[in-house]
Chain A
Amino acid sequence: MDQRLERILPRVQKPARYVGGEYNAVVKEKASVDTRVAFCFPDTYEIGMSNLGMRILYQIMNDMEGVWCERVFAPWGDMEAELRQHHIPLYGLESGDSVGDFDVVAFSIGYEMAYPAVLNMLDLSGIPLRAADRGDGLKPLVIAGGTAMYNAEPLADFIDLACIGEGEEELPELLTLYREAKREGWDKPRFLRAAARIQGIYVPSLYDVTYHDDGTVAAITPRDGAPERVRKRIVQDMDKAPFPVKSIVPSTEIVHDRVTLELFRGCIRGCRFCQAGYVYRPVRCRSEKLLAEYGAAACEDSGYQEMTLSSLSTSDYPQLLELCDDLEAYCDSHHVSLSLPSLRADNFSMGLTERLSKGRKAGLTFAPEAGTQRLRDAINKNLTEEDLMESLKRAFSNGWSAVKLYYMLGLPTETDEDIIGIAEMANHVIHCWREYASNKTRGVRITVSTSWFVPKPFTAFQWEPQITREEYERRVQLLREHMTARAVTYNWHDGDTSFLEAVLARGDRRLGRVLETAFRKGAHLDAWQEYFDLSRWYEAFDECGLDPAFYANRERKREEIFPWSVISCGVGDDYLWRERERSRETVTTPDCRTRCSGCGANKMVGGVCRV
């Protein structure tokens, strides 16, 4: 271990997250590899190691001969200060080598608020922030993938390319090309031109963006043979997609410290606000028997005694019952506890929850998202109050006494009535408990949480304004006034981050300057409340002459070219616009299993969705 590193570790919190050496970490002989990848997660170790995508791609890259992929996470503030003070560059956890010396620096970016951490990690690695300042040499190649990259524009100046969609096949193809380029001594421009021909690879520097006087995009013009439209990549057959059975077991506690079994990709539901629901289409399931095998094998290899089933809407897995039967048999005999998050409010799900809870009555969580049926229909959230109450009736009579309910404020078409509806729903929950609770001595705990709705690209609401901050605060206040029951705890999301998220989510590449300015002013780990400071961002917008409200609070016209218009997630704008219109008319759209509504994603899987 680097001696300088050893000397700072006693002074930082949780040093174990900075040293690597965990069980199953991949260490290769340097002489046996020609391509070194620094796989960077722009958040803390605890968050990054909990990310299943990161584990999948780590395995896939390390399964490639000649390639060694190592992990890098964002240091916490105390560690960052020590690194900077002692001039220790950011390093790969496996080898301890400086990130700046790697061939490929690959970021996995799930959310916009991680952008400052991307810049900070480049800076801590001694890599020039802007791609244009990194010269024509092939390395380091700075790439980014993950859900946030469906609109990579705010990072366009800093990354060499973005991988759109799922990385299982895309990343090995890209690395294979890189190795060829390295062998043959290509420079970076040549490599980027070639990479742009791989489906799913978006090279921002190969597109010229012009703007209208009003600040909206006039045209995005590809150059040097780059495609007009970059189509996302997906795994066609989930049974062929590797599952990381043999995966790193951190020696220190992380957020999701357990086996996570991914049942399927995509979602059949079509909630109109949900970016994941649209961009991961279409649904692709793993077979049940395979999942049962993976689950057992992963527990055995890791020694974990907790397993969770994960997907966007887990109870939509067609063979969930069989899977739970199989897994339960294994888990019971091996003292593994099995949990099922993201459940729907229906009898089937409640039955399963009861069965798996084995007497442990932890809190139940539901996400009605909106307070009235009208608004739930408008956002196509397929949950009725009757279903919720039925589920709760059953839960309360079986001894549950804690319920968490999640909502959003500021959804398109929301009125005061919808907001007050949230408080009313909470009251109905209390009534339900009074009437049906089997044990009233413990009381009931109801937590209502609201967040501030952020319109995202590739959703039916991508044209919608985010409500202003004043309006958001008024709505929170309104809800507080109506939330009178003592059994209800009301938590509302602080507005600052949601506002910035709304700006960055639909930002264009001019925001690169704002990002860099905010970074220079100290925005480093802004996904964390401890470090986030909106005033830095306001200053940055001022200095760059850009108005954040233009991005967050402006309603877009149907024909507007979006900064992300060059990307295709398989679901077309026509379809999304139709969904938006139906939302205005409070007309729901059936889920993919009930009836295909023709979103276009079927073309990603050869024409027919096997929902």
Chain B
Amino acid sequence: MSEFRLRFVKEGRAAWISHLDLLRTFQRVFIRSGMVIRHSQGFHPHPIMSFVLPLSVGQTSVCELLDFSTVEDLPCEGMAERLNPYLPEGVRVLSCAAPVHPVRDMRYLEAEVTLEYDNGVPAGAAGAVTALLLGDQVVVERRNKKKQMVDTDIRPMIESVAAREEEKALVLSVRVQGQNPGVNPALLAAAVGRHLPEMKPDFVRVRRTALLCEDGSPFC
């Protein structure tokens, strides 16, 4: 038996594959590649594999992590080459290693939140947006456990925000809490739309770039 943590990219068309569908896809990818994944015991055995932090549909990532274990002992080397021919377009394995940190040690995620403005970035947007997101509180609507939309202050979950202006876009490099509780970086853009209506972007892209431990070192 071996345990693995797969690091992969999810981008392009694959951004639209949901978390559950991607899990199903990986199950099949393992079968295609001839690898036998360990299954849970019991009446309805299911393959033991999970994403460290599921990604929202439509977002892209260069740092997705999938944990799984195989029945046989297998080396990590060559895993990417072995799996990549069987993946749908837009999913690409970068590397594979034995997990170093337990999942609960994953603390922060970093992402690039791109606010697109078709008519150009409004004057002063970089400053105003940073001030908003690093201000006293950042209230957004968020679904609670009972599936109702309620106002929540996500400011405590925002670690850092840096804005840089590009052609017709404001790119926010953000670090937010990843879990317990985590915040979806898309909510930062929602906060801009709500509190700075004149700076509401025409479109928002989110690209996850890193998962980190408490001390800021890469979670791996």
A residues touching B (Cβ–Cβ < 8 Å)? 1, 6-7, 9-10, 15-16, 18-23, 25, 249, 251-253, 299-305
Known: A9-B58, A16-B21. A303 touches B89 (CB 8 A): no
Q: A9-B16, A21-B88, A303-B31 are in contact. List 13 more A-B contacts (CB 8 A).
A: A10-B58, A22-B88, A23-B25, A23-B29, A25-B89, A249-B25, A251-B14, A299-B31, A300-B32, A301-B32, A303-B27, A304-B28, A305-B31
Contact (Cβ within 8 A) A7 B88? no
**Closest A residue, CB atoms, query B31:** A303
**Closest A residue, CB atoms, query B27:** A303
Contact of A1 among B13, B21, B29 (CB under 8 A): B13
Q: How far is the CA of A16 from the CA of B16 in the complex (A)?
A: 5
Contact of B21 among A6, A20, A251, A305 (CB under 8 A): A251
**Closest A residue, CB atoms, query B32:** A303
Known: A16-B18, A21-B89, A21-B90. A1 touches B12 (CB 8 A): yes
Contact (Cβ within 8 A) B21 A253? yes
Q: Across the interface, which residues of A come within 8 angstroms of B24, CB to CB?
A: 253
Q: How far is the CA of A302 from the CA of B18 in the complex (A)?
A: 19
Interface centre among A25, A249, A300 (most CB of B within 10 A): A249
8 closest A-B pairs by CB = A303-B28, A21-B13, A21-B89, A303-B31, A19-B13, A15-B16, A303-B32, A16-B16
Q: Across the interface, which residues of B come within 8 angstroms of A19, CB to CB?
A: 13, 16
8 intermolecular pairs with C-beta atoms under 8 Å apart: A19-B13, A22-B88, A23-B29, A25-B89, A251-B14, A300-B32, A303-B86, A305-B31
Contact (Cβ within 8 A) B57 A252? no
Contact (Cβ within 8 A) A15 B14? no
What is the CB-to-nearest-CB distance from B166 to chain A, in angstroms, rounded to a whole number?
Answer: 15
**Closest A residue, CB atoms, query B43:** A359
Contact (Cβ within 8 A) B88 A23? yes
| B 47-75 to A, binary, CB cutoff 8 A, 1 in contact else 0 | 00000000001100000000000000000
Q: Across the interface, which residues of B come within 8 angstroms of A9, CB to CB?
A: 16, 58
Contact of B12 among A16, A21, A23, A302 (CB under 8 A): A21
What is the CB-to-nearest-CB distance from A120 to chain B, in angstroms, rounded to a whole number?
Answer: 23
Q: How far is the CA of A15 from the CA of B12 in the complex (A)?
A: 13
Q: Does B117 touch A at the CB level, under 8 Å? A: no
B residues touching A (Cβ–Cβ < 8 Å)? 12-14, 16-18, 21-22, 24-25, 27-32, 57-58, 86-90, 203
**Closest A residue, CB atoms, query B39:** A335
Contact (Cβ within 8 A) B28 A15? no
What is the CB-to-nearest-CB distance from B54 to chain A, in angstroms, rounded to a whole number?
Answer: 15
Contact (Cβ within 8 A) B13 A302? no
Q: How far is the CA of A163 from the CA of B86 in the complex (A)?
A: 35
Contact (Cβ within 8 A) A251 B32? no
Contact (Cβ within 8 A) A249 B28? yes
What is the CB-to-nearest-CB distance from B13 to chain A, in angstroms, rounded to a whole number?
Answer: 3
What is the CB-to-nearest-CB distance from B73 to chain A, in angstroms, rounded to a whole number?
Answer: 20
Contact (Cβ within 8 A) B88 A302? no
Contact (Cβ within 8 A) B18 A252? yes
Contact of A23 among B21, B57, B87 (CB under 8 A): B87
Known: A7-B203, A15-B58, A16-B21. A251 touches B88 (CB 8 A): yes
What is the CB-to-nearest-CB distance from B91 to chain A, in angstroms, rounded to a whole number?
Answer: 9
Q: Across the interface, which residues of A come within 8 angstroms of B57, CB to CB?
A: 10, 15-16
Known: A10-B58, A21-B12, A25-B89. A16 touches B17 (CB 8 A): yes
**Closest A residue, CB atoms, query B13:** A21
Q: Across the interface, which residues of B come within 8 angstroms of A16, CB to CB?
A: 16-18, 21, 57
What is the CB-to-nearest-CB distance from A601 to chain B, in angstroms, rounded to a whole number?
Answer: 40
What is the CB-to-nearest-CB distance from B90 to chain A, in angstroms, rounded to a whole number?
Answer: 6
Contact (Cβ within 8 A) B88 A252? no
Q: How far is the CA of A299 from the CA of B34 in the complex (A)?
A: 11
Contact (Cβ within 8 A) B30 A303? yes
**Closest A residue, CB atoms, query B204:** A10
What is the CB-to-nearest-CB distance from A292 to chain B, in angstroms, rounded to a whole number?
Answer: 19
Q: Across the interface, which residues of B come within 8 angstroms of A249, CB to CB?
A: 25, 28, 88
Q: How far is the CA of A572 from the CA of B107 in the complex (A)?
A: 74
What is the CB-to-nearest-CB distance from B207 to chain A, in angstroms, rounded to a whole number?
Answer: 13
Q: How far is the CA of A15 from the CA of B29 in the complex (A)?
A: 21
What is the CB-to-nearest-CB distance from B45 to chain A, in angstroms, rounded to a whole number?
Answer: 9
Known: A1-B12, A23-B88, A25-B89. A252 touches B28 (CB 8 A): no
**Closest B residue, CB atoms, query A18:** B16
Q: How far is the CA of A2 from the CA of B88 in the complex (A)?
A: 19
Q: Across the interface, which residues of A come within 8 angstroms of B18, CB to CB?
A: 16, 252
Q: Across the interface, which residues of A come within 8 angstroms of B89, CB to CB?
A: 20-22, 25
Contact of A251 among B17, B27, B30, B31 (CB under 8 A): B17
Contact (Cβ within 8 A) B17 A252? yes
Q: How far is the CA of A312 from the CA of B13 in the complex (A)?
A: 37
Q: Across the interface, which residues of A come within 8 angstroms of B14, CB to CB?
A: 21, 251
**Closest B residue, CB atoms, query A10:** B58
Q: How far is the CA of A25 from the CA of B12 in the complex (A)?
A: 15
Q: Across the interface, which residues of A come within 8 angstroms of B13, CB to CB?
A: 1, 19-21
Interface centre among A10, A251, A299, A303 (most CB of B within 10 A): A251
Known: A249-B28, A251-B21. A23 touches B86 (CB 8 A): yes
Contact (Cβ within 8 A) A252 B203? no
Contact (Cβ within 8 A) A302 B16? no
**Closest A residue, CB atoms, query B89:** A21
What is the CB-to-nearest-CB distance from B33 to chain A, in angstroms, rounded to a whole number?
Answer: 9
**Closest B residue, CB atoms, query A248:** B88
**Closest A residue, CB atoms, query B85:** A23
Q: Across the interface, which residues of A come within 8 angstroms of B27, CB to CB?
A: 303
Q: Across the interface, which residues of A come within 8 angstroms of B22, CB to CB?
A: 251
Q: How far is the CA of A302 from the CA of B24 in the complex (A)?
A: 12
**Closest A residue, CB atoms, query B58:** A10
Q: Across the interface, which residues of B come within 8 angstroms of A10, CB to CB?
A: 57-58
What is the CB-to-nearest-CB distance from A146 to chain B, in angstroms, rounded to a whole number?
Answer: 28
Q: Across the interface, which residues of B come within 8 angstroms of A22, CB to CB?
A: 88-89
Interface centre among A20, A22, A23 (most CB of B within 10 A): A23
Q: Across the interface, which residues of A come within 8 angstroms of B12, CB to CB?
A: 1, 21
Q: How far is the CA of A25 from the CA of B28 in the complex (A)?
A: 16
Q: Across the interface, which residues of B come within 8 angstroms of A21, CB to CB?
A: 12-14, 88-90
**Closest B residue, CB atoms, query A304:** B28
Q: Across the interface, which residues of B come within 8 angstroms of A301, CB to CB?
A: 32
Contact (Cβ within 8 A) B90 A303? no
Q: How far is the CA of A6 from the CA of B15 in the complex (A)?
A: 10
What is the CB-to-nearest-CB distance from A318 to chain B, in angstroms, rounded to a whole number?
Answer: 31
Contact (Cβ within 8 A) A252 B21? yes
What is the CB-to-nearest-CB distance from B20 to chain A, in angstroms, rounded to a whole number?
Answer: 9
Q: Across the interface, which residues of B come within 8 angstroms of A23, CB to CB?
A: 25, 28-29, 32, 86-88
Q: Across the interface, which residues of B come within 8 angstroms of A18, CB to CB?
A: 16
Contact (Cβ within 8 A) B32 A302? yes
**Closest A residue, CB atoms, query B56:** A10
Q: Across the interface, which residues of B come within 8 angstroms of A300, CB to CB?
A: 31-32
Q: How far is the CA of A18 from the CA of B31 in the complex (A)?
A: 26
Interface centre among A7, A16, A25, A249 (most CB of B within 10 A): A16
Interface centre among A1, A252, A300, A302 (most CB of B within 10 A): A252
What is the CB-to-nearest-CB distance from A86 to chain B, in angstroms, rounded to a whole number?
Answer: 12
Q: How far is the CA of A16 from the CA of B14 in the complex (A)?
A: 8
Q: How far is the CA of A18 from the CA of B12 in the complex (A)?
A: 13
**Closest B residue, CB atoms, query A25:** B89
Q: Across the interface, which residues of A come within 8 angstroms of B21, CB to CB?
A: 16, 251-253
**Closest A residue, CB atoms, query B26:** A303
Q: Across the interface, which residues of B come within 8 angstroms of A25, CB to CB?
A: 89
